[in-house]
Amino acid sequence: MKLAAERAFAAPEAAARKLVELAKTIEAVQDGRIHIEKLNAPFLYTLKATGLEFGAGIKHAVEKGWLELHESGTYVRLIDTSAKAAPAKD
């Protein structure tokens, strides 16, 4: 008997890919900055992900070199949006 449904973004890689996908749709401001709340709101409220999934996704995207997170945590930058670096499903 299965009591809970699988979470779409339980895997950090899945969350990271979705965050990068969302970041690509957001118009960056000064110096390519994307305010963290522009990613946070749709990820948490539209996609119904959790805060832990968001944090793990951001961390994974930074480790993979897809996003750069400012030390203040207030914004991210897409590091490389080329087809080679874009997080495509394997």
- From first to last of its 90 residues, the chain has per-residue pLDDT tens of 565 668 889 899 999 999 999 999 999 998 899 999 999 999 999 999 999 999 999 999 999 999 999 999 999 999 875 544 455 554
Q: How far is residue 23's CA from residue 1's CA, in Å, rounded to a whole number?
A: 38
CA proximity to 47, closest of 13, 14, 3:
14
- Domains and their CATH numbers in the chain: 12-78 (1.10.10)
- Residue 61: CB atoms within 10 A of its CB come to 27
pLDDT at 83: 43
Which residues make Cβ contacts (< 8 Å) with residue 50, sequence separation at least 6? 7, 9, 44
